[in-house]
């Protein structure tokens, strides 16, 4: 089978011929149809300090996918050959307190497909049956291939009650944009998204026309708040950028007792004015991945009930043109990039 492999330290990935994975008794073999390129994949492509510390070589990368089941391990029940599916990319154990209490997304022994175990940038993927997410007929493979990042957006956005609330999102990358669409779908009153990249802000308005996109280098956020009649501030903040400056601005823009969910990862360590957070009685929640499997149920239900994130996909190309896909991702001007494997 063809596969994208990180074989050596340094920039780039290689398209190689690899053996089709052999599945264990509790696994399924999935024929991959489409995959999404993630920011994590870009880190591995660039071979930055995180990737060098985390990824063992050689490694078939990729973890956002949609495909169909072509083989079942002997212990697998409840799934069928030919069934369309996506999958949870975090492979968890069963020994930790978190897993044994059903909080699988908090298992400290989590391994990531395409990071710690062979991934989905390939014709075939072996995946634990526990991780398989069946795809309803009304969700196409293109959307199935980006359910992983949509799940990050859903987990972050639904961390707090949004009905009737005013929501500030910092960072108009694809996940931030999808979080804005989720917030509106979940009943938020005003949704404002900020960034310093005009291309990303235009994409946000294209995907979610009923939000306010703000370039904070050109427009004062306080003026936007006044124009929206928000005298006290935002109720909920979703920090998706990893920018300390954005987080500081969010803290200042929230009401007393406001709530912040943080998905963005700042580079290195950042100075935080904890006294400001304490005196405003702000709640902070760190978000990692998706809640297994409540997030998946929620986002599939929303997609089947009118949530539309299809326009966040800006590039579709054959898997053989993967280098162009990575260039689009690294440019900072793209939304999601989806590769077709067959």
Read off the pLDDT band of 236 (50, 70, 90): very high
133: helix, coil or strand?
A: strand
- How much is the mean pLDDT over the chain? 97
Read off the pLDDT band of 130 (50, 70, 90): very high
Active site residues: 40, 43
Helices (H), the chain: 39-46, 49-54, 97-100, 141-144, 147-157, 174-185, 198-207, 221-227, 244-253, 274-279, 294-303, 322-331
What percentage of the chain has pLDDT greater than the value 70? 100
| Res 266: pLDDT | 85
| Res 270: pLDDT | 83
Q: Which pLDDT tens digit goes with each residue over 198-215?
A: 999 999 999 999 999 999
| Res 269: pLDDT | 83
Q: Which pLDDT tens digit goes with each residue over 259-280?
A: 999 999 888 788 889 999 999 9
User: Looking up tokens 């694809």, which residue turns up?
Assistant: 174
| Res 208: pLDDT | 94
DSSP letter at 46 equals: H
Read off the pLDDT band of 47 (50, 70, 90): very high
What is the pTM for the complete model shown? 0.96
Q: Which pLDDT tens digit goes with each residue over 72-115?
A: 999 999 999 999 999 999 999 999 999 999 999 999 999 999 99
How far is CA 20 from each of CA 126, 193, 197, rounded to the nearest angstrom?
Answer: 9, 43, 41
The whole-number average pLDDT for the span 48-76 is 97
Domains of the chain from N-terminus onward: 2-146+309-340 (3.90.180.10), 153-286 (3.40.50.720)
- For every residue of 277-335, DSSP letters joined together read HHHTT-EEEE--S--TTHHHHHHHHHHTTT---GGGEEEEEEGGGHHHHHHHHHHT---
| Res 64: pLDDT | 98
The whole-number average pLDDT for the span 67-72 is 98
| Res 166: pLDDT | 98
Cα separation, 267 vs 98, whole angstroms: 28
């Amino acid at each position: 089978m063809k596969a994208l492999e990180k074989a050596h330290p340094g920039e780039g990935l290689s398209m190689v011929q690899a053996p089709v994975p052999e599945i264990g008794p509790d696994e399924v073999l999935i024929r991959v149809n489409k995959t999404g390129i993630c920011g994590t994949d870009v880190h591995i492509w660039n071979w930055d300090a995180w990737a060098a510390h985390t990824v063992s070589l050689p490694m078939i990368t990729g973890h956002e996918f949609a495909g169909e089941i072509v083989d079942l391990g002997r212990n697998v029940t409840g799934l069928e050959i030919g069934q369309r599916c996506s999958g949870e990319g975090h492979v968890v154990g069963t020994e930790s307190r978190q897993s044994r209490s059903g909080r699988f997304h908090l298992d400290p022994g989590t391994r990531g497909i395409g990071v710690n175990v062979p991934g989905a940038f390939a014709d075939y993927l072996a995946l634990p049956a526990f991780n398989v997410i069946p795809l309803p007929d009304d969700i196409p493979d293109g959307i199935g291939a980006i359910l992983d990042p949509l799940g990050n957006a859903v987990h972050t956005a639904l961390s707090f009650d949004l009905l009737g609330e005013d929501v500030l999102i910092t960072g108009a990358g694809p996940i931030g944009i999808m979080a804005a669409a989720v917030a509106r779908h979940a009943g938020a009153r005003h949704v404002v998204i900020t960034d310093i990249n005009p291309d990303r802000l235009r994409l946000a308005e294209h995907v979610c026309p009923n939000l306010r996109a703000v370039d904070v280098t050109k427009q004062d956020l306080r003026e936007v708040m006044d124009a929206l009649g928000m005298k006290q501030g935002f109720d909920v903040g979703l920090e998706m950028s990893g920018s300390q400056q954005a987080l500081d601005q969010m803290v200042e823009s929230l009401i007393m007792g406001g709530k912040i969910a943080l998905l963005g990862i700042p580079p290195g360590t950042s100075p935080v004015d904890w006294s400001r957070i304490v005196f405003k009685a702000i709640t902070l929640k760190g978000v990692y991945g998706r809640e297994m499997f409540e997030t998946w149920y929620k986002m599939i239900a929303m997609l089947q009930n009118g949530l539309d994130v299809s326009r966040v996909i800006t590039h579709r190309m054959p898997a053989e043109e993967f280098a162009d896909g990575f260039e689009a991702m690294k440019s900072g001007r793209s939304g999601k990039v989806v590769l077709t494997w067959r």
